[in-house]
Amino acid sequence: MAALRGVGIGQGVATGPVRRMAEALPAPENVPTTLGADAERTRAQEAIADVAADLTRRAEAVDGAAQEVLEAQAMIAEDPTLADEVEERIAAGATAEWAVHDAFAGFRASLEAIGGYLGERAADLDDIAQRVLARLRGVAAPGVPDPGYPFVLVARDLAPADTALLDLDKVLALITTDGGPTSHTAILAREKGIVAVVGAVDAAGLADDETVIVDAAAGTITTEPSADELARATARAAEKQAADTAPPTPGALADGTPIALLANLGKPGDAVDAVARGAEGVGLFRTEFLFLSSTNAPTVSAQREAYRELLAAFPGRKVVVRVLDAGADKPLPFLNDAHEENPALGLRGLRALRASEDILREQLTALAEAQAETEADLWVMAPMVATVEETAYFTAIAREYGLRTAGIMVEVPASALLADRLLAHADFASIGTNDLTQYTMAADRLLGSVASFQDPWHPAVLRLVAEVGRAGAALGKPVGVCGEAAADPLLAVVLAGLGVGSLSMAPAALADVRRALAQHTLEDARRIAAAALAADDAGAARAAAQAAAAPDPSLPTR
Ligand code: PEP
Ligand code: MG
């Protein structure tokens, strides 16, 4: 056996024969048109319109993130700037094929130069360009193979349109050689529950029909597996399948210590899926996601309607709504209009809301009205709180509106270090490990070049979490985690050991975290957390926790 490495998405494992995705269509040559500019223009326009219509049709056939990705692709295909670029090349004597190829390549290069999230969108442009070229040449667009039996799909970076429509009865697992953990392929794979390892550079050498084990939990692809390895992987896959389809139970450690399992949501429509997956409530509702494309502040009535719909899905349950977290990666034009050199360190989160207090007051009004109309237990919290004074400000203003439970997000090291003093003024704390890691490690969460620093397993981050856990216990105030760290099953156990009482995550992650928690008592969790805390870096902390969590073969099994 040999193991290839990549980034695993989720916790699944699958085995099967490899099938490679067909190579891209060859690039056209830059030869002068023989048809004339008018004919080339019509051909290009028709091909682009057909592709956009096809993507829209595909979007209508699916829902959730898949739908959003396909709709976004259809919009890119019809982007007027791209159309102008194509037109410019045709006017200069190019064929429709060359004009499309060259214009899309130019756009792709600009995205790649920006890097981070936008850089990872570059694959979307390639896919659209390929579809338009196929249309112009009258051939089928490159797509997922269909050998007639289930297979492990190996691709450079799967097009979002293909990922969205993958037939899970045929595709056992997905391996990409390009693409990172925030690429669309990864986002969609996570949502669909596809076993996936992305960014596995060496998988380019895999051959059709060779059998592999794809282990997303370990981020590995095992080639030439032994019969034993295959049997173990198959047993693990069956165990996971049984656990995923078992009726969800409330989150708890093995000794019964409750650890509430909550959902991170960005729109009310996602509540149904969260409830079906056993979310015990909502730990983070990102209100800014509702208004990312708005140029004006949302009205009270539009907000009330959205919050009412969300709260109505969780009668008697806790729903934590975060007030608008504008700035940095989520700019809202009506809150962040000034240019900032370092927006992550600028007027974002509560700072931006205070600067436009009327918008905060309108949001609190809408939340109070939605609370009055529904049965949910509404908690409100402020993002990017850094001081005691900000904490006191937010809880006081929330109480003015009759909002019963008001807390803060701990995302800045300063608030973790002074958690006892901040919590004296707040009803609860929710740790945002995405930003807390970014600020602790001084590593922009959107920048691929510093991605290795963006690891919440780092003992510096864990020590800050422990500080907040201790403060919560001392003051009798609930402490939760709502960053991505909560979705990592072993890290979830560590967080419980550090005094965290609730974990909020993408609903698709709930089953794996529930299962991991149920395997360890609170005493175990504290021991595993201590092992991670004692490590020197993130990798060592993960390894130490793995070793501490592994069953001791010398002990009788429970
Ligand atoms: C976080 O920072 O961990 C968090 C949950 O907030 P967001 O990811 O929306 O910044
Ligand atoms: Mg944050």
What is the three-state SS of 93-113? CCCHHHHHHHHHHHHHHHHHH
In ligand 1, the atom with minimum distance to the C-alpha of 435 is 2
Mutate to test the pocket of ligand 1, among 285, 323, 325 (most ligand atoms within 8 A of CB): 325
CA of 379 to the centre of ligand 1 (A): 17
Return phi, psi of residue 420, to 5°.
Answer: -60, -40
Between 176-185, 279-288, 335-344, the lowest mean confidence (pLDDT) is in 176-185
> What pLDDT is stored for residue 116 in this prediction?
57
**Of the listed ranges 142-151, 415-424, 474-483, the one predicted with least confidence:** 142-151
How many whole angstroms separate alpha carbon 33 and alpha carbon 90?
A: 8
User: Which of 101, 184, 425, 458 is an active site residue?
Assistant: 184
Where do the CATH 3.50.30.10 domains begin and end in the chain?
2-22+144-244
Of all protein residues, the one whose alpha carbon is nearest to atom 3 of ligand 1 is: 432
Minimum CA distance residue for ligand 1 atom 10:
435
Domain with CATH 1.10.274.10 in the chain: 37-137
CA 498/CA 470 separation, integer angstroms: 8
Every domain range in the chain assigned CATH 3.20.20.60: 260-549
Query: Ligand 1 atom closest to Cα of 430?
Result: 5
Mean pLDDT of 338-367: 94
- Residues with CB under 6 Å of ligand 1 are 284, 286, 325, 411, 432-435, 482-483
Dist. CA 318 → ligand 2 center (Å) = 20
pLDDT at 321: 98
Is 458 catalytic? The answer is no
Q: Ligand 2 centre from 104 Cα, in Å?
A: 33
CA–CA dist 79, 99 (Å, integer): 15
Residue of 290, 323, 345, 409 to mutate, ligand 1, most atoms within 8 A of C-beta: 409
What is the average pLDDT score of the chain? 90
Given this model, what pLDDT does residue 114 score? 67
Q: How many angstroms separate the alpha carbon of residue 434 from the centre of ligand 1?
A: 5
333 pLDDT band, cuts 50/70/90, is: confident
284 Cα nearest atom in ligand 1 = 5
CA distance 59 to 69: 8
pLDDT tens-digit map of 206-229: 999 999 999 998 889 999 999 999
Q: Which CATH superfamily is domain 37-137 in?
A: PtsI, HPr-binding domain (1.10.274.10)
Which residues are within 8 A (CB) of 150 and not within 5 positions of it... i.e. 6 or more apart? 16, 169, 170, 171, 172
Instruction: From 185, 172, 155, 166, select the one nearest 214 (Cα to Cα).
Output: 172
Tens digit of pLDDT for each residue in 502-535?
Answer: 999 989 889 989 999 999 999 999 999 999 999 9
Q: Which fold has domain 260-549?
A: TIM Barrel (3.20.20)
| CB atoms inside a 10 Å sphere around CB 123 | 22
CA 296 to ligand 2 centroid distance, Å: 23
Nearest ligand by distance to the CA of 436? 1
Going from the Cα of 383 to the center of ligand 2, the distance in angstroms, rounded, reads 7
- Record the tokens describing residue 438, joined without a space: 């970014």
Q: Does an H or E element contain 463, and which?
A: helix 459-475
For residue 286, the one-letter residue type is R
Residue 371 CA to ligand 1 centre (angstroms): 24
Euclidean distance between CA atoms 425 and 537, whole angstroms: 33
**pLDDT, position 15:** 97
Q: Which ligand approaches the C-alpha of residue 288 most closely?
A: 1
Which is the closest atom of ligand 1 to the Cα of 288?
9
Q: How far is the CA of 381 from the centre of ligand 2 (A)?
A: 12
Nearest CA to ligand 1 atom 6: 432
The amino acid present at 410, given as its one-letter code, is V
Closest approach atom of ligand 1 to CA 264: 5
Which of 290, 326, 288 has its CA nearest to residue 305? 290
- How many angstroms separate the CA atoms of 515 and 253, rounded? 9
Task: Output the CA 406–ligand 2 centroid distance in Å.
Answer: 17
What is the distance between the terminal CA atoms of the chain, rounded to a whole angstrom? 33
Phi/psi of residue 542, nearest 5 degrees: -65, -45
The verdict on whether 184 is a catalytic residue reads yes
Q: Tell which residue, 396, 445, 336, has the closest CA to residue 116.
A: 445
By the 10 Å C-beta count (0-12 exposed, 13-18 middle, 19+ buried), 521 is classed as: middle
Q: Which amino acid is at 135?
A: R
| Residue 557 pLDDT exceeds 60 | no
Residue with CA nearest ligand 1 atom 1: 432
Segment 459-470, tens digit of pLDDT: 999 999 999 999
In this prediction, residue 558 has a pLDDT band, given cuts at 50, 70 and 90, of very low
3-state secondary structure of 452: helix
* Ligand 1 atom showing the smallest separation from residue 329 Cα: 10
Structure token pair of residue 498: 């550090």
Catalytic one among 101, 425, 458, 482?
482
Q: Of the residues 351, 434, 461, which should be mutated to test ligand 1's pocket, given the most ligand atoms within 8 Å of the CB?
A: 434
pLDDT at 430: 98
Tell me which ligand sits closest to the C-alpha of residue 437: 1
Tell the residue nearest (CA) to atom 8 of ligand 1.
434
Q: Return the amino acid letter for 14.
A: A
Helix, strand, coil percentages, rounded to 5, for the chain: 50, 15, 35
Q: Which ligand is nearest to the CA of 431?
A: 1
For strands 171-176 and 211-215, give the pairing: unpaired
**Res 38 pLDDT > 50:** yes
pLDDT at 240: 85
Strands 211-215 and 220-223: antiparallel
Angle, helices 459-475/538-549, rounded to nearest 10 degrees: 60
User: What is the spatial distance between Cα 558 and Cα 556, in angstroms, rounded to a whole number?
Assistant: 7
**Looking at residues 228-249, what average pLDDT do you find?**
90
Q: Tell the residue number behind the tokens 């040559």, with chain if given.
A: 29
What pLDDT digit, counting tens, does each position of 392-450 carry?
999 999 999 999 999 999 999 999 999 999 999 999 999 999 999 999 999 887 766 77
Average pLDDT over residues 333-360: 91
How far, in Å, from the CA of 431 to the mean position of ligand 2? 9
Which of 511, 445, 448, 515 lies closest to 484, judged by CA? 445
> Given the CA of residue 411, which atom of ligand 1 is nearest to it?
2
Q: Are 346 and 340 in contact (CB under 8 A)?
A: yes
The alpha helices in 336-383, defined as continuous H runs, are 350-355, 357-373
Q: Is the pLDDT of residue 377 over 90?
A: yes
- Separation CA 504–CA 261 (nearest Å): 6
**How many CA atoms lie within 13 Å of 336's alpha carbon, on the beta-carbon side?**
26
Which two tokens mark 74?
């259809």
Residue 234 · residue 227 · CB < 8 Å: no
Q: What token pair was written down for 35?
A: 């048809």
Is residue 289's pLDDT more than 60? yes
d(CA 83, CA 63): 28
- Of all protein residues, whose CA lies closest to atom 9 belonging to ligand 1? 286
Q: What is the mean pLDDT of residues 109-130?
A: 73
- CATH H-level superfamily of 2-22+144-244: Phosphohistidine domain (3.50.30.10)
Mutational pocket test of ligand 1: of 182, 265, 286, the residue with most ligand atoms within 8 Å of the beta carbon: 286
**CB-based contacts of 205, cutoff 8 Å, min separation 6:** none
Strands (E), 236-360: 260-265, 281-286, 318-322
Q: What tokens were used for 425?
A: 């003024």
Sign of the dihedral defined by the CA atoms of residues 204, 208, 210, 215, in that order: positive
Q: Determine the residue of 381, 410, 482, 502 to mutate for testing ligand 1's pocket, defined as the one with the most ligand atoms within 8 A of the Cβ atom.
A: 482
Ligand 1 atom, smallest distance to 485 CA: 3
